[in-house]
Amino acid sequence: MHVQFFILVFGLNLHAVTAYRNGVVTQACTSMTPGHGVSASTLEPPYTVTADVSNYTEGQVITVTLQANETGFKGFLLQARDETGPVGHFTVMEGDAQLLNCGTEGSAVSHTLNENKSTIVAQWKAPNNNNADIRFRATFVQNFSLFWVGVQSDPVRFVGTNTTVAPPHHTTYNSSPLLSLTMCLLPLPLLAII
């Protein structure tokens, strides 16, 4: 009887702390916390999240880099967030990253295998209906019991809509065609007198 109870309890706990080697961690979309059964590290993270710009407009594409400062990471979860949650859409640049749907299609990026990585690059496209500042946030997993949640980029400020302004169209109008013809036919010395 005690052995059966132990197996049942152990089996339930094992399921609760399953690591997601394939990176499909959609249940962590809101908290960005892995279900490893331990708390996130409070030490300074050895990882950075950077965007290639500090301002953005609607529909703009931004390159985001996850970088290990010293020790690599085996897992990660990346989102662009405003005050309401994940926004925008990512595209992945490498085979060791995949898109996840955290509320909307492609709104997060995660690992495909839990192999050691030092850099991940993804591109994020700003939505056309968002006018808020954002931060790129990531969770980095170094190993099963050591991970950091909420590692953030510097703020990326919304600066307006992406409107393309056509160059001014210049129209030249001469009210006296005869004067133009005369100017063209006059020898240079006479032109200087006029």
Q: What is the CATH number of the domain that holds 55?
A: 2.60.40.4060
Q: CB of 74 within 8 A of CB of 25? A: no
**Residue 167 pLDDT class (50, 70, 90 cuts):** very low
Higher pLDDT, 70 or 81: 81
In this prediction the pTM is 0.72
- Read out DSSP for 47-79? EEEEES-SEEETT-EEEEEEEESSS-BSEEEEE
16 within some domain: no
Query: Model confidence over 122-141: pLDDT tens digits?
Result: 999 999 988 999 999 999 99
Whether 122 is covered by a domain: the verdict is yes
Domain assignment of residue 101, given as a range: 21-160
